[in-house]
Structure 1
Amino acid sequence: MKLSLLLDWRLHVLVVIVSLIAEVIGILQFPLGPGSLLLLPLFYAFIFCVLLNPHLFSDTAKWVPVQLSQAASPVILLSIMPFIALFGSTIGPAIEQLISAGPALILQELGNLGTMLFALPFAVLVLKMGRETIGATHSIAREPNIAIISDKYGLKGPEGIGVMGVYIVGTMFGTLWFALMAGYLASLDLFDPRALAMACGAGSGSMMAACSAALATVIPDRADELLAFAGASNLLTYATGLYVSLFIALPIAERFYRVLGGQRASMSVGAQATHEQTLAADALKEERPERQLGKTAIVVAVVCVVCWISNTVNGAPLLEALPGMAILYAMTMLGFIVTRVAPFYLPGVAWVSLVSILLTLPWTPGSGWIVEQLSAVNVLAIVTPVLAYAGLALTRREFSMFRQAGWKLVIISLLVFTGTYLGSTTVAQLLL
């Protein structure tokens, strides 16, 4: 995409305005049974921008042209990078605590198999779904999982429809669902907060961001510790998630499906196979940021400014937060440079995390000053613009597929996310 479109001032000013309004509204808490439901500024930002999205209501195109929605899509990944860098900066100082919790941190990854334990029986026995169940329930359906299903089954078949359905629901509502679950479970005081934080690392940067931000809000006195555990868990998932899905989760889903008496027949979701195929191709073939470092450096600078302004409401004044935001920018770009030159591939988010971890380890020269400067940046405030970009980036195809894919896939998607989070939390809790 052309740099001029990515830098369209209308897009970024709109995100700044929406983010500031969301931050001013602040955190709303509602009693719900024995716990409470937490609504965060990122929730309002997402909803506001969905309502402004020209693909949802054509009338809004007068104020928000379609090209702004198109530009928002590639900006999402870049806008979350300062947050990933901030996450890494909480892992470095807490390295000794993380090492002491090592077995729990590593083995809780197996709790991600809770996706199918929750969702697959309900899909087969209650909703009478076909083999789209396998694609839908073996994981939380992020880009690596789409690649696995595409390679093994193809995206035109029922398994491809299943994984794409969960992908769409996750894109639209996954971050919000993880934030709501984390905030509510933390308010119940049933689980060790560290276990809840570990479970946030499901392999999605935005889901982890919303989930851990909710925990940090509910338990502010342990915010840094919880962010460190969540970030370390997500880093492990990036490294191992693809292989766990391919060699463990998918074979188990196949066998479990047959044991439950699943049939070859597939439900009719009303969406054309080409829609799923095209969407997957868009997601998987998009040019990676590290391949165009000049353009990436400029766009990251812009989104850092957006986050910097959003931070003024519940974070620190502009001048006070300037060194911290500059450090996050430097960490992000250094991470992308390492991604470009590394002899093996890891996603940019993983390298950005590793760079910020190394720079904030207790024995790294100057780490104390770096951590002090970063304390002026509010974790929650720099996530809010990410969700604003996400709300604007939803395409007509995604809205159409969401409407057509059927209520069954929506229910299954939410069960998948719930199973992943509760499964990982439970395993971590037992090990801790």
Structure 2
Amino acid sequence: MPLSTLLDWRLHALVILVSLLSEFVGIQQIPMGPGSLLLLPLFYAFILGVLLNPNVTRTAGKVFPKRISDAAGPLILLSIMPFIARFGSTIGPAIQDLIDAGPALILQELGNLGTMLIALPVAVLVFKMGRESIGATYSIAREPNIAVISDKYGLKGPEGIGVMGTYVVGTMFGTLWFALMAGYLTSLDILDPRALAMACGVGSGSMVAACSAAIAGTLPEMRDELLAFSGASNLMTYATGLYLTLFVALPIAEKLYSLLSGKRKAKPVGAQVTASDDSDIPAEPRPEQNLGKTAIVMAAACAVAWVANTINGAGLIEALPGMLILYAMTMIGLTVTRYAPFYLPGVAWVSLVSILFTLPWTPGNAWLVEQLSAVNFLAIVTPVLAYAGLALTTRELQMFRQAGWKLVILALLVFTGTFISSALIANLLL
């Protein structure tokens, strides 16, 4: 995509306005039974982003060109990078606590199996779905999981339709669902909040950001500790998650489907839902491939976060050193991603870089941590959700309409099962 499109001032100005308005409204709590539902600024930012998306509403289409929506897509990943760096900066100072909780961090990854244990029986026994239930429920359906299904079955078959349905629902609502679910469960005070923070790590970058921010917003006095556990869990997910779903979760899903359905022939839900060709595979953006271009666009994304931080964080002058540090950590991490002899996602390298810089024995770590304290976690996530709302494409909206209510329910069961299973395992071990 041309650099001029990614730097379109109308896109970034719109995100700034949406973020500032959302931050001004602030955190709202809605009592629900024994707990309360936490509405964060990122929730409002996403809704406003969707309403202002030219692909969604005709009014927005008359005011904003569709290339603004196209440019917002790559900026989701870029704008999440400073948060990941801020995330990692909480892990370094808390490294001893994380080492002490090592078994819980490692074994809670088995919670990924909860995706199918709840959702797959519902898909087969209640909704009478065929093999698309395997693709829809075997994982949380992020890009690596789609790649597994594409390689093993292809995206044109029922398994591909299932995984794409969960992916689309996750893209549109997964982040908000994780935030609402995590905040509510934290308010119930049933599980150890550290266990809930670890469970946040199973999602994509934006899911982790929203989930951990919701928990930290509920318990601000434990903010740094909770974010440290969530960030460490996310690193473990990058290291083991793909292999767990490939070699454990998918074979179990196949076996469980066979037991539940017998020899029944697959009857795809939503026959009109098709993956027309391999171009429908959602490709993960790789910002490290063009570091010069990424450095410029990343500066714009950090500037947006810097301004959004002024409402509930520190002022522009006070927060400037912290934002510059996050920018530097992000670019160092992406540079390592580009030249490392083995591949890890950029978010993993960015997190590792920020961890190394803030370890207790790293020279100057106390000064870095002090400067970073001026950057509010919640504030720099809000623009990410604004970009996400603006980035919804016509194809994603069409797939969502075609997928049907059954896949929507299954996707939410997948997210809930994964989160709760991981939290229960972590809570038991803690």
* Range class of TM-score, shorter chain: over 0.9
- Is 1:37 aligned to 2:37, yes or no? yes
- Is 1:389 aligned to 2:387, yes or no? yes
C-alpha offsets along residues 262-296 of structure 1, whole Å, 9 cap, x if unaligned?
Answer: 5332323144423574331xx22x55111100000
Aligned residue in 1 for 2:83: 83
Distance in 2 separating the partners of 1:59 and 1:16: 20
Distance in 2 separating the partners of 1:19 and 1:264: 49
**Alignment map for 1:71-150 (pairs within 5 Å):** 71-150=71-150
Aligned residue in 2 for 1:361: 359
Aligned residue in 1 for 2:275: 274
Say which SS state the counterpart of residue 30 (structure 1) adopts.
strand
Say which SS state the counterpart of residue 141 (structure 1) adopts.
coil
| 1:377 positional shift | 0.4
Distance in 1 separating the partners of 2:378 and 2:337: 26
| 1:54 positional shift | 1.1
Say which SS state the counterpart of residue 38 (structure 1) adopts.
strand
Paired residues of 1:166 and 1:410 also in contact (CA < 8 A): yes
Aligned residue in 2 for 1:228: 228
- Which residue identity does 1:264 align to in structure 2? K
Paired residues of 2:110 and 2:422 also in contact (CA < 8 A): yes
Paired residues of 1:114 and 1:419 also in contact (CA < 8 A): yes
Percent identity of the aligned residues? 73
C-alpha offsets along residues 385-414 of structure 1, whole Å, 9 cap, x if unaligned?
Answer: 000000000001111110111000000000
Q: TM-score, normalization: structure 2?
A: 0.98
Q: How many residues align?
A: 429
Distance in 2 separating the partners of 1:306 and 1:163: 33
Paired residues of 2:161 and 2:275 also in contact (CA < 8 A): no
- Is 1:317 aligned to 2:315, yes or no? yes
Say which SS state the counterpart of residue 406 (structure 1) adopts.
helix
C-alpha offsets along residues 47-74 of structure 1, whole Å, 9 cap, x if unaligned?
Answer: 0110111111123112221000000001
Distance in 1 separating the partners of 2:354 and 2:277: 36
Distance in 1 separating the partners of 2:30 and 2:278: 40
Aligned residue in 2 for 1:249: 249
Q: 1:308 aligned to 303, 306, 309, which one?
A: 306
Paired residues of 2:115 and 2:415 also in contact (CA < 8 A): yes
Aligned residue in 2 for 1:351: 349
Say which SS state the counterpart of residue 225 (structure 1) adopts.
helix
Say which SS state the counterpart of residue 275 (structure 2) adopts.
helix
C-alpha offsets along residues 350-399 of structure 1, whole Å, 9 cap, x if unaligned?
Answer: 00000000000000000000000000000000000000000000001111
| 1:31 positional shift | 0.6
| 1:239 positional shift | 1.0
Paired residues of 2:55 and 2:393 also in contact (CA < 8 A): yes
Aligned residue in 1 for 2:265: 264
Q: TM-score, normalization: structure 1?
A: 0.98
Distance in 1 separating the partners of 2:101 and 2:30: 33
Paired residues of 2:156 and 2:276 also in contact (CA < 8 A): no
- Which residue identity does 1:351 align to in structure 2? W
Say which SS state the counterpart of residue 37 (structure 1) adopts.
strand
Q: 2:422 aligned to 421, 424, 431, which one?
A: 424
C-alpha offsets along residues 98-151 of structure 1, whole Å, 9 cap, x if unaligned?
Answer: 000000010000011110011011111111111011001111000000000000
Paired residues of 1:40 and 1:214 also in contact (CA < 8 A): yes
- Which residue identity does 2:131 align to in structure 1? R
Say which SS state the counterpart of residue 31 (structure 2) adopts.
strand
Distance in 2 separating the partners of 1:94 and 1:296: 31
Distance in 2 separating the partners of 1:314 and 1:75: 23
Aligned residue in 1 for 2:325: 327
1:270 to 1:45, Cα distance in 2 relative to 1, 3 A: farther
Paired residues of 2:129 and 2:269 also in contact (CA < 8 A): no
Distance in 1 separating the partners of 2:426 and 2:301: 35
C-alpha offsets along residues 172-217 of structure 1, whole Å, 9 cap, x if unaligned?
Answer: 0000000011100000000001000000001411000000000000
Q: 2:409 aligned to 408, 411, 414, which one?
A: 411
Distance in 2 separating the partners of 1:416 and 1:218: 24
- Is 1:164 aligned to 2:147, yes or no? no
C-alpha offsets along residues 307-359 of structure 1, whole Å, 9 cap, x if unaligned?
Answer: 00000000000000000000000000000000011000000000000000000
- Which residue identity does 1:321 align to in structure 2? A
1:407 to 1:318, Cα distance in 2 relative to 1, 3 A: same
1:210 to 1:287, Cα distance in 2 relative to 1, 3 A: closer
1:318 to 1:275, Cα distance in 2 relative to 1, 3 A: farther
Unaligned runs of 5+ in 1: none
1:271 to 1:360, Cα distance in 2 relative to 1, 3 A: farther
- Which residue identity does 1:302 align to in structure 2? A
Distance in 2 separating the partners of 1:375 and 1:287: 29
Paired residues of 2:26 and 2:40 also in contact (CA < 8 A): yes
